[in-house]
Structure 1
Amino acid sequence: MYEIDFLPIEETGSTGSKSGDAIAMRFDDNLGRQRVVVIDGGYKNTGDRLVTHIRDYYATTHVDLVISTHPDGDHIRGLTGVLEELTVGELMIHRPHDHHPKFADYSNIEVIDALIGQAEERGVTVTEPVTGLTRFGGILRILGPTADYYEELLAEDLDGERAAAVSKLSEFSLMHKAMDLLSRALDYLPTETLGEGGYTSPRNRTSVVTLLAVDGDRVMFTGDAGIESLERAMDEYDAVVGDPAVAALTLLQAPHHGSRRNLSPTILDRILGKPGEPFGTGFGTAIVSSAAADPKHPSPKVTNALQRRGMSVFATEGRILCYPGRPGWTSATELPPLVEDDD
């Protein structure tokens, strides 16, 4: 038995509505004991909702493992509330201090330091998430990044190459027009226009990629990982799990709230199979953590690309999504094919 909950992030500020990640899950380990894991906590006020959700639906005040995929505010800030209100066994988080002399310039370093300090004060084990780490008898596995790749990306970020990329992303954001997803619905899947050259920041590429293998299912959580990060994670998947054509994913979290800059046809073909030739049964599920009023996420190019490869796609858009389901809850509506022209 397992349940995975994707909580909605609907943070509104001066720059508009923002998406984020806050994921809670429970599952039975190999000895039948309930385990609770949190991956990211959204913004600060999301932490309270995470705590309430775990108490109400998991009937516990203990979290075995918290994973901070990377230190962007829409992923890390809510974890403070989790550590304050619940008992936590282990926190997995990268420590920039140990990997680069200019760590003090790293964005949100004060949040990282405070979270680690908070954990250590409470006797929580603090571990850096690196490729190959496993927990709960192998049920949970870290697919990436490796320690070397993390250091490479941290150096790229702190040595100033990130500024130009962020400037380009901001320019794109200003030109993007907000539009309700369902107003773009089609009754067919259009020809694929998702490109191969997607770029996301080195900070996003440090995101922890996690695999949950439970009850014969395989679930991949991606944070804001980029194409190169996912390629490396799939190298680990191939080595320890097997060819995804045989050991197919059951559920994939679309990286970076469904951004077109974090996926490409080639990496999707590797993870899910080619359009019309999906791996496994061809009835997998993809989840997008996106705010209802976020004008950028998800990209129709991404949601359509996932559907072409046999995935049913769902977006949080203001709702908690529970997979594979919960008694008394109603079925969510999957996204239809969407117009891609102005994406």
Structure 2
Amino acid sequence: MDFVIDFLYVGDGDGIIIWGRNPNEEDFVFFLDGGNQGFGTKIINHYKEWIKPYLYKTKTIAFINSHPHADHINGLIEIVKELGEEMTWGIYNDPVKFISEELRENIKQSALRKEDADIDHLYKSFQKVQELNELCEQYNIQKFEALSDAFNYEEIKIVSPSREFYTSKVQLFTNIDFLKKVDYSKSFTEVNEILESLKPCDIVDEKNDASPENLSSTVIELIDSNNERYLLTSDSGVESFDDMEKNGFNTENLNFVQLPHHGSRRNISTNWIGKFAPKMFLISAEGNEKHPRKAVLNCIKKNLPNCKIYSTHKNKGTISYTTNKSVFPDRNWGNAEPI
């Protein structure tokens, strides 16, 4: 199978369309997340203009939600509402299935009492996943868990989270006492431009503390007809990659890797930059002090001087990669400029 992978600019969020095509004149279109509320329309319009007119009669349309944070699921819900009748599969995890009804009710009541912002955020995620559940019922979309043992279709594979890893993270991010102790809103420190340039890898390695919810994000591996590999990481992090490696994942022949969490320093390490060592890194980001983080970019350039870095915030446009241009129509787009 060969692929077109379109990264659309949706600010600090992910809005990716994976268009796969096999030699049997069969197309597969996966909407991977959809950014914040309001961006779904942009992604739908892109699909209708640049992908749908070129599809073969035999096709499968599906959606994947990496995790139910607003900057990933809200726009996706808009997409499913608009295109649900065309969709065959929905691939996502429902954390409620991994906890007791009593705990779910406790989280709901705590959120309604406004006891803690992180608990309120979690309950809103539960509600958004329930919307997806209802849309799948409405449009008769077959649901699959986004776990490494639950969905693998030929050259489109989920390599993280494993069921064990996901279950462990759900137990943590649904722990009310844990949520009351943490405050992710205060985790960002001011950027020191000099240190970001002189000691970027020290800053990158200072704190790899992605939240348990982000660590539960889906990581997708694509393998093209030449056995070159592509990794879409969403908001996963170092623990996710360590777990992938423990379960047999190797980093050979990685053509590109999506930098996790919009290029945040919290989700990558110097060690994993070197292990991935792709030909290029791609980023979905707003283009601010946090995303993509200058220290991350400088650390990559220091360790992988031949690796190009592309981000959707540059010109606020679409970054597209085609694995085999002879298989897909020429959309007459120009070349992207690296950072």
Post-superposition offset of 1:103: 3.1
- In 2, Cα distance between the equivalents of 1:145 and 1:214? 22
Map of 1:245-256 to 2, 5 A cutoff?
A: 247-256=252-261
Pair 1:291-2:291 in alignment: no
1:145 maps to 2:161 = yes
Q: Distance in 2 between matches of 1:131 and 1:142?
A: 5
- On the 8 A contact 1:29/1:139 being kept in 2, the answer is no
- Counterpart of 1:4, as a letter, is I
Q: Secondary structure at the match of 2:165?
A: helix
1:54 maps to 47
2: CA distance, partners of 1:41 / 1:63: 18
CA distance in 1, matches of 2:261, 2:286: 12
Aligned 8 A contact 1:153 1:206 in 2: yes
Structure 1 residue 311: deviation in Å?
2.0
2:119 equivalent in structure 1: none
Q: Is the 8 A contact 1:176 1:296 kept in 2?
A: no
Give the AA of the match of 1:230.
F
- Contact kept in structure 2, 1:35 and 1:63, CA below 8 Å: yes
Question: TM-score of the superposition, structure 2-length normalised?
Answer: 0.81
Deviation, 1:33, is 1.0
SS of 1:77 mapped into structure 2: helix
Specify the alignment match of 1:333 in structure 2. 337
The aligned counterpart of 1:192 is 201
Matches within 5 A, 1:1-343: 1-10=2-11, 19-59=12-52, 64-86=61-83, 87-101=86-100, 102-104=103-105, 105=107, 106-107=122-123, 108-136=125-153, 138-159=154-175, 160-165=177-182, 167=183, 169-173=184-188, 175-176=189-190, 192-193=201-202, 194-195=204-205, 197-216=207-226, 217-236=228-247, 238=249, 243-244=250-251, 247-272=252-277, 284-292=279-287, 294-307=288-301, 308-309=303-304, 310-317=306-313, 318-324=316-322, 327-335=331-339
SS of equivalent residue, structure 1 residue 195: helix
Q: Deviations over 1:177-201 (max 9, x none)?
A: 699xxxx998xx9763321641011
Of all paired residues, the percent bearing the same amino acid is 22
SS of residue matched to 2:267: coil
More helix, by proportion: 2
Unpaired runs of 5+ residues, structure 2, are 108-121
TM-aligned CA deviation for residue 322 of structure 1: 0.8
In 2, Cα distance between the equivalents of 1:163 and 1:29? 49
CA distance in structure 1 between the aligned counterparts of 2:13 and 2:172, rounded to whole angstroms: 24
Distance (whole Å) between structure 1 residues aligned to residue 224 and residue 284 of structure 2: 22
TM norm structure 1: 0.80
**1:63 CA displacement:** 5.5
**How far apart are residue 226 of structure 1 and its match?**
1.5
1:135–1:153 Cα change, 3 Å: closer
1:70, 1:203 within 8 Å by CA — same for their partners in 2? Answer: yes
Distance 1:103 1:220, change over 3 A: farther
Distance 2:46 2:192 in 1: 30
Partners of 2:36 and 2:71 within 8 A in 1 = yes
Change (3 A) 1:72 1:32: same
Contact kept? 1:209, 1:233, Cα under 8 Å: no
Q: Does the 8 A contact of 2:145 with 2:151 survive in 1?
A: no
Name the SS for the 1:44 alignment partner.
Answer: coil
Structure 2 vs 1, CA of residues 140 and 290 (structure 1 numbering), >3 Å: closer, same or farther?
Answer: same
- Give the Å deviation of 1:149: 1.4
Alignment CA distance shift 1:9-1:163 (3 Å): farther
Task: Say which SS state the counterpart of residue 69 (structure 1) adopts.
Answer: coil
Give deviations 1:259-305, integer Å, cap 9, x for gaps.
Answer: 00001112223222xxxxxxxxx6x111111013x331111221223
- Partner deviation per Cα, 1:204-225 (whole Å, 9 max, x = no partner): 0110111011132211011100
Secondary structure, aligned partner of 2:254? coil
1:192 and 1:151, CA in 2 relative to 1: closer, same or farther beyond 3 A?
closer
CA offsets 1:9-28 (integer angstroms, 9 cap, x no match): 13xxxxxxxx0001002121
**How many residues are treated as equivalent by the alignment?**
301
Match of 1:14 in 2: none
Which amino acid counterpart does residue 262 of structure 2 have in structure 1?
Answer: H
